[in-house]
Amino acid sequence: MKNNDKILDKTVAIIKKYYEHSEKNPVLRYASPETLKKNINLNIAQKGMNIDALFQEIEKIALNSPKTNSKGFFNLLVGGEIFPAVMAEMLTAVLNTTMHTYKSAGIHILIEQEVIRFLLKKVGYRKGDGIFWPGWSLTNMVAIVLARNEKYSSIKISGIRGKKLVGYTSDQAHYSTEKFISVTGLGKEAIRILPTDEKGKMNIRILEETILSDLKHGYIPFFVNATAWTTVLGAFDPIEKIVKIAKKYKLRLHVDAALWWGALLSKKHKQLLKGVELSDSVSRSLHKMMNVPLLAAVLLVKDPDILYKNFNENADYLFQMDDKALNPGNKSIQCGRRNDAFKVWTALKYLGETGYEKRINNEFANAKYAVAVIKKDKDFSLVLQPECINVCFQVKGKPASKICEALDKQGLIKVSYGKWRWEEFIRLMTVNADMTKADIDNFFKHVKTVKI
Amino acid sequence: MKNNDKILDKTVAIIKKYYEHSEKNPVLRYASPETLKKNINLNIAQKGMNIDALFQEIEKIALNSPKTNSKGFFNLLVGGEIFPAVMAEMLTAVLNTTMHTYKSAGIHILIEQEVIRFLLKKVGYRKGDGIFWPGWSLTNMVAIVLARNEKYSSIKISGIRGKKLVGYTSDQAHYSTEKFISVTGLGKEAIRILPTDEKGKMNIRILEETILSDLKHGYIPFFVNATAWTTVLGAFDPIEKIVKIAKKYKLRLHVDAALWWGALLSKKHKQLLKGVELSDSVSRSLHKMMNVPLLAAVLLVKDPDILYKNFNENADYLFQMDDKALNPGNKSIQCGRRNDAFKVWTALKYLGETGYEKRINNEFANAKYAVAVIKKDKDFSLVLQPECINVCFQVKGKPASKICEALDKQGLIKVSYGKWRWEEFIRLMTVNADMTKADIDNFFKHVKTVKI
């Protein structure tokens, strides 16, 4: 450990420098790939590099990384951090256990179980099961596979053959639904992308009409995806109404609550997910509203046996000891798997439900404040009254895309733009719970004054 | 950062304790879930926990984690570590960038590009492309999807419909091939699992006979999976011969070299992968033979456009700036993605090709030494002369499963057993390059003397 101690010290020094740098420089000035390659020696060579020289390069990499935890980052749904959770993620790197079996992961299996237990309770699945996978869009893929195989159990073994299965989602749902229905062999045409209403929500009348038309033409409806918090607008599909349709036509209902899990911790805001306990599965990205490091995505299912039924394989070289429930490799689409639950557990232990609720409420309060700023200022116009923390607005006479690009290239703010119904607008996400009103003011100051 | 400094110090202290503990206690004595839950407060509560109390629990978690980096861990293909790579993985947690776009990940996009460039060169794909995904079995899934969509480009949009596609793999290939061919909608029946020869390799004669029989019965062969280093025996399918069959019958050839990538760095051992440059895609787990932390899996493809063609979606809320090649979200099945390449880059920079070669050669030398020990000892019998670092052997008169369980429960060694042709045997993996002959001797001492 002696030589390693020195390397660990160097790493800690870089971490400290990174945070100092990030405070002073919340956004990097844009640097082209050519510039970065000139300044940082990336080239992998025949000969190794000594630790001092290598860690100089690593320090440059750290300081040249986009500061996703800073007060200038509003770019995506990732932002902010809960420091003890970052530490847990660091320890995950050191401990390096793999989550197939209790034999190889021990205590880490129990940590994941505890987090899943907690999440199931919050969703309201009485029994249920769940698993962490690296990427919430993958959890959506699995939801489609489960729905497909539940409709025809023969598909797992004999394939889709000529079955004309169709699923439903809205035009505001995440783009990966199309990608994954294609992966599962049904083809992109098998997902009906329904136009949304004037708030960006799924239109129930159109949903039912489309199902009826499909039935008439010999299609077999099997799946409906309800989005709770759409990516661009932050809209919520009406889950309770969709539940009724799903029951009536025997569709499996998946709730893509990727962005939204945090709100279930808030008594004030959880009504937006009303009816979620009546769904068949839910997917979530805890690395978004919960401000833990990437990746922390989870799939929850109401039927506690469905994951085993679909993903258990006979691999006796792996599953040699202990109870089925202690060997989650049996129900996973992955073989090797990190313990992504550890950072979530740490954040939940640190804050408690109460502390988390405060953070989530602050994200909402910041969005509300931003809306007030926009409404007061004649140069701004609000695109849509937000249901949660996506604040979509325009700056009169200036294209949103130009503003975002200028803000980034000049190193002022990272924020992105969205499009809806031919309109282009800035999409401010108040996802970092540590932001204050002053940070929001600072955001608008730059948006207003940046030279495009 | 002040309060965070204290938390960082605590984390560093835990890391140091973990390594000390791991040196003295290379394997944990088995503890039941009930015992662990009694000793460690896992319960997520309403109220948060103060940092001191929380980090006491976290320390217990660290010290109760199976020591995958220790000299007593021979359990899986994960083992050992390269310390600077562990530090890079820790920094990945801190930097927390997501790899969709250059705007959100900057320098990290260039790091992945450099690692991919290096890997492509090693494989011998002149142009080619590649991407890191969290889990090598997922990269195998994508290989199947690419093969399926290349056979019929209509499948991406219109689905499989009645097409009777069939693929081929050996009975020693990884269990996930069946799982994933099922996910892709073809059904498990669509993969022909071919019996292997007396060394556990794919039998070319049987492969061709099966293809001919399938053609005769109206099936459409589309895919063959060659395994380079099978999970249990460590056998290599004859790639060059499979290439000929694949060309003759127009199958896409994927090489599952999950376990094996390291050997390409060794001049002495790379001939085992001869012909790999003639394949269409290769998947690899760099967290195995390369001793970097989980997960570091990569898919390499010969056709530089094929990933875009299959996975590009129109997501203008994401892809707003910079060149296509700088926004790998365009070619990914994941949306959010960690920079898994950073630790690999760090290991390669630190060791250089030369340093890595030495490590890989040592893994082989340890396997060779283990074989010599087995051959010298009348109590042991070798199941198969290993081609690489899986040493499969039996202890006369004692069932392998009982020995492995006893070694684990008594906290002596973590190792697992395998099965082949109705025989059960201990499967020693010399995957940790830091092991010495003394560590191998210690392993055999325990195997021989453990009370079952």
Give the minimum alpha-carbon distance from B70 to chain A in angstroms, rounded to a whole number.
11
**Which pLDDT score is estimated for B289?**
82
Which residues 137-196 of B have a C-beta within 8 angstroms of A? 137-138, 141, 145, 148, 154-162, 174-176, 178-180, 182-190
Average pLDDT over residues A204-224: 98
* pLDDT at residue A354 tops 90: yes
**E-only strand ranges, A46-125:** 73-74
Q: DSSP state, A325?
A: G
Q: Is B339 left (phi over 0), alpha (psi -120 to 50) or beta?
A: beta
Specify whether B124 is located in the same domain as B40.
no
* pLDDT at residue B2 tops 90: no
Kindly state whether residue A83 falls inside one of the protein's structural domains. no
Number of domains in chain B: 2
CB contact under 8 A, B320 and A90: no
Average pLDDT over residues B343-372: 96
pLDDT in tens, B156-189: 999 999 999 999 999 999 988 999 999 999 999 9
Give the minimum alpha-carbon distance from A384 to chain B in angstroms, rounded to a whole number.
17
Specify whether A320 is located in the same domain as A362.
no
Of the residues B307, B322, B346, the one at which a domain ends = B346
Of the residues B2, B11, B186, B426, the best mutation for testing chain A's interface (the one with the most A CB atoms within 10 Å of its CB) is: B11
Band of residue A318 on the pLDDT scale cut at 50, 70, 90: low
**Which pLDDT score is estimated for B136?**
79
Residues 6+ apart with CB under 8 A from B280: B146, B147, B252, B253, B254, B301, B302, B303
**Which pLDDT score is estimated for A94?**
96
Residues 6+ apart with CB under 8 A from A192: A166, A167, A168, A169, A210, A214
Of the residues B17, B40, B61, the best mutation for testing chain A's interface (the one with the most A CB atoms within 10 Å of its CB) is: B61
pLDDT in tens, A393-435: 999 999 999 999 999 999 999 999 999 988 999 999 999 999 9
Tell me which amino acid residue B101 is: T
* pLDDT at residue B427 tops 70: yes
Of the residues B317, B403, B408, the best mutation for testing chain A's interface (the one with the most A CB atoms within 10 Å of its CB) is: B317
Which residues 389-418 of A have a C-beta within 8 angstroms of B? 401, 404-405, 408, 414, 416-418
Sheet strands side by side (includes A165-170): A129-133, A297-301, A281-285, A252-256, A220-227, A165-170, A191-194
Check CB contact of A421 with chain B, cutoff 8 Å: no
CB contact under 8 A, B317 and A427: yes
Specify whether B130 is located in the same domain as B228.
yes
> For chains A and B, what is the number of CB pairs under 8 angstroms?
439
For residue B133, list its beta bridge partners. B297
Specify whether B146 is located in the same domain as B246.
yes
* pLDDT at residue B319 tops 90: no
CB contact under 8 A, A19 and B37: no
State the ipTM, two decimals.
Answer: 0.96
Q: In the numeric block, which tokens belong to residue B406?
A: 């006893």
Of the residues A317, A346, A375, the one at which a domain ends = A346
Specify whether A324 is located in the same domain as A358.
no
Check CB contact of B118 with chain A, cutoff 8 Å: yes
Q: In the numeric block, which tokens belong to residue B252?
A: 């896409």
Of the residues B107, B232, B346, the best mutation for testing chain A's interface (the one with the most A CB atoms within 10 Å of its CB) is: B107
Q: How far apart are the first and last CA of chain A?
A: 53
Check CB contact of A218 with chain B, cutoff 8 Å: no
Average pLDDT over residues B113-128: 95
Check CB contact of B334 with chain A, cutoff 8 Å: yes
Average pLDDT over residues B343-351: 97
Picking from A416, A161, A156, the residue whose alpha carbon sits closest to that of residue B98 is A416
Kindly state whether residue A196 falls inside one of the protein's structural domains. yes
CB contact under 8 A, B54 and A138: no
Average pLDDT over residues B95-117: 95
Cα(A200)–Cα(A171) distance, integer angstroms? 8
Cα(B131)–Cα(B344) distance, integer angstroms? 13
Specify whether A272 is located in the same domain as A377.
no
For residue A206, list its beta bridge partners. none
For residue A452, list its beta bridge partners. none
Check CB contact of B96 with chain A, cutoff 8 Å: yes
CB contact under 8 A, A76 and B98: yes
Cα(B395)–Cα(B378) distance, integer angstroms? 9
Q: Which is more confidently placed, A343 or B136?
A: A343
C-beta atoms surrounding B125 within 10 Å = 23
Specify whether B169 is located in the same domain as B315.
yes
Average pLDDT over residues A337-366: 95
Provide the 3-class DSSP secondary structure of residue B395: strand
Tell me which amino acid residue A426 is: I
**Which pLDDT score is estimated for A111?**
98
**Which pLDDT score is estimated for A324?**
82
Specify whether B283 is located in the same domain as B142.
yes
Sheet strands side by side (includes A390-395): A73-74, A414-420, A423-429, A390-395, A380-382
CB contact under 8 A, B40 and A107: yes
Task: Report H helices in A70-135.
Answer: 83-95, 102-105, 107-123
CB contact under 8 A, B115 and A75: no
Average pLDDT over residues B340-358: 96
pLDDT in tens, A68-118: 989 999 987 778 899 999 999 999 999 999 998 999 999 999 999 999 999
Specify whether A414 is located in the same domain as A277.
no
Q: Which is more confidently placed, B417 or A264?
A: B417
**Which pLDDT score is estimated for B129?**
97
Kindly state whether residue A431 falls inside one of the protein's structural domains. yes
Kindly state whether residue B46 falls inside one of the protein's structural domains. yes
We report the CATH number of the domain holding residue A416 as 3.90.1150.170
Specify whether B112 is located in the same domain as B204.
yes
Among chain A residues, the shortest Cα distance to B63 is held by A95
By the 8 A CB rule, do B439 and B413 touch?
A: no
Specify whether B110 is located in the same domain as B29.
no
CB contact under 8 A, A414 and B103: yes
Distance (Å) of CA A298 to CA A257, A283, A295, B134, B338: 10, 6, 10, 14, 16
Band of residue B224 on the pLDDT scale cut at 50, 70, 90: very high
By the 8 A CB rule, do A320 and A103 touch?
A: yes
Cα(A95)–Cα(A196) distance, integer angstroms? 46
**Which pLDDT score is estimated for A259?**
66
Tell me which amino acid residue B134 is: P
* pLDDT at residue A25 tops 70: yes
Band of residue B256 on the pLDDT scale cut at 50, 70, 90: very high
**Which pLDDT score is estimated for B205?**
98
Q: In the numeric block, which tokens belong to residue B47?
A: 């109220």
Which segment of A22-36, B306-320, B433-447 scores lowest on mean pLDDT? B306-320
Domain that holds residue B30: 2-63
Band of residue B119 on the pLDDT scale cut at 50, 70, 90: very high
**Percent of residues, chain A, with pLDDT higher than 90:** 82
Cα(B92)–Cα(B342) distance, integer angstroms? 7
Check CB contact of A372 with chain B, cutoff 8 Å: no
Average pLDDT over residues A248-268: 86
Check CB contact of A32 with chain B, cutoff 8 Å: no
Q: In the numeric block, which tokens belong to residue A195?
A: 């136009």
* pLDDT at residue A313 tops 90: no
Band of residue B315 on the pLDDT scale cut at 50, 70, 90: low
Kindly state whether residue A71 falls inside one of the protein's structural domains. no
Cα(A40)–Cα(A54) distance, integer angstroms? 10
| φ, ψ for residue B301, nearest 5 deg | -130, 145
Specify whether B177 is located in the same domain as B111.
yes
Give the minimum alpha-carbon distance from A405 to chain B in angstroms, rounded to a whole number.
8
Give the minimum alpha-carbon distance from B451 to chain A in angstroms, rounded to a whole number.
18
We report the CATH number of the domain holding residue B211 as 3.40.640.10
Band of residue A317 on the pLDDT scale cut at 50, 70, 90: low
Average pLDDT over residues B224-251: 96
From the list B4, B48, B156, the residue facing A188 with the nearest CB is B156
Of the residues A346, A369, A389, the one at which a domain ends = A346
- Give me chain A's average pLDDT, please: 93
Check CB contact of B451 with chain A, cutoff 8 Å: no
Average pLDDT over residues A190-214: 97
* pLDDT at residue A386 tops 80: yes
**Which pLDDT score is estimated for A396?**
96
Average pLDDT over residues A277-294: 90
Kindly state whether residue A310 falls inside one of the protein's structural domains. yes
Q: DSSP state, A268?
A: T
By the 8 A CB rule, do B433 and B81 touch?
A: no
Kindly state whether residue B16 falls inside one of the protein's structural domains. yes
User: Which residues of chain A are within 8 Å of residue B56 when distances are taken between CB atoms?
Assistant: none
**Which pLDDT score is estimated for B147?**
98
Beta pairing, strands B165-170 & B191-194: parallel
Q: Is the dihedral of CA A426, A431, A436, A439 positive or negative?
A: negative
By the 8 A CB rule, do A338 and A99 touch?
A: yes
Residues 6+ apart with CB under 8 A from A420: A172, A200, A232, A233, A383, A384, A392
Cα(B330)–Cα(B307) distance, integer angstroms? 8
**Which pLDDT score is estimated for B316?**
67
For residue A170, list its beta bridge partners. A194
Picking from A386, A347, A367, the residue whose alpha carbon sits closest to that of residue A443 is A367
Kindly state whether residue A226 falls inside one of the protein's structural domains. yes
Burial of B397 (0-12, 13-18, 19+ CB in 10 A): exposed
